[in-house]
Amino acid sequence: SQGTMSVPTDAVNAPTSNASLAAWSVNNLCLTTTTITLTPSSGLTYPATTTVAATVVPVSSTCSPGNIPTGGKIVLTLAPQAKGSSQSTQTQTLSNEKASFNLTGLNGGTYIMFVSYKGDTIFGGSSSSRTFSFVVARATPTVTLGEPAGVTPVNGVYYVLQGSTTAIQATVTSAVGSPTGSVQFLNGTAVADPAQNPVTLSGGGTATFNTSNLAAGTYVLTTAYSGDLNFATVT
């Protein structure tokens, strides 16, 4: 017997919650226990790869001696679906009490996972006794702040005429993907120009700041990258 439940919401940043419900008749079937392990279970960083091992064993060795759970379907459920939706549900056939699921390219975030065995003609179904939670850390990108375009430094200082439009470009890159989000250009700890705060990254991972609004004075610029689902904040 199977069913589903959906709890819709219109709250900001709160997706609709979904649940799958399943139950099995156990009369005349041998009871089973399902367990799961994750390897590796920690130290995961985007894009993460890990393996889920599931094992189904009889509760009692006296129930149908000589037989073991095999041949039945076993399902892995990974939530939330927004993080790795193509792998949110996987189904395999149990073989000699075991099944293995490979998870690859997982996005950053916290995942909740469980496995359910659907049973066969001898052994009843069961689910992992607890949900397994694990975290995929965000990768750390490289942030580079370029020199003011067309300006030659004098003794390490760039002199820009007040009111002129001189472009300064920040670039956010990573060997494991393309960061999205935005960049703040800061003068010390303060925003250098509120009219350009923040500056959204282009598809190529660049953000351009111009000096036209800056008052006369000395500026020491730094960039603060906002981070996104898969990439950590960097200043």
Question: 3-state secondary structure string, 26-43?
Answer: CCCCECEEEEEEEECCCC
CA quadruple 123, 126, 132, 136: dihedral sign: positive
195: left (phi > 0), else alpha (psi -120 to 50), else beta?
alpha
Q: What is the pLDDT of residue 85?
A: 52
Q: What is the DSSP letter of 192?
A: S
In this prediction the pTM is 0.81
Spatial separation of the C-alpha atoms in residues 219 and 145, rounded to whole Å: 14
Structure tokens at 169: 């470009």
CA quadruple 80, 83, 86, 92: dihedral sign: negative
Q: What is the pLDDT of residue 24?
A: 67
Locate the DSSP E strands across the chain.
2-7, 17-22, 32-39, 44-45, 48-58, 73-79, 89-93, 98-106, 109-117, 126-127, 132-137, 142-145, 167-173, 182-187, 190-191, 199-200, 206-210, 221-225
Mean pLDDT of each 10-residue bin along the chain, 235 residues long: 81 77 74 94 95 95 91 87 66 94 92 90 85 91 95 94 95 97 96 97 96 95 96 96
Q: What is the pLDDT of residue 182?
A: 97
Spatial separation of the C-alpha atoms in residues 57 and 105, rounded to whole Å: 31
Q: What is the DSSP letter of 86?
A: G
Q: What is the pLDDT of residue 78?
A: 86
Q: What is the pLDDT of residue 18?
A: 80
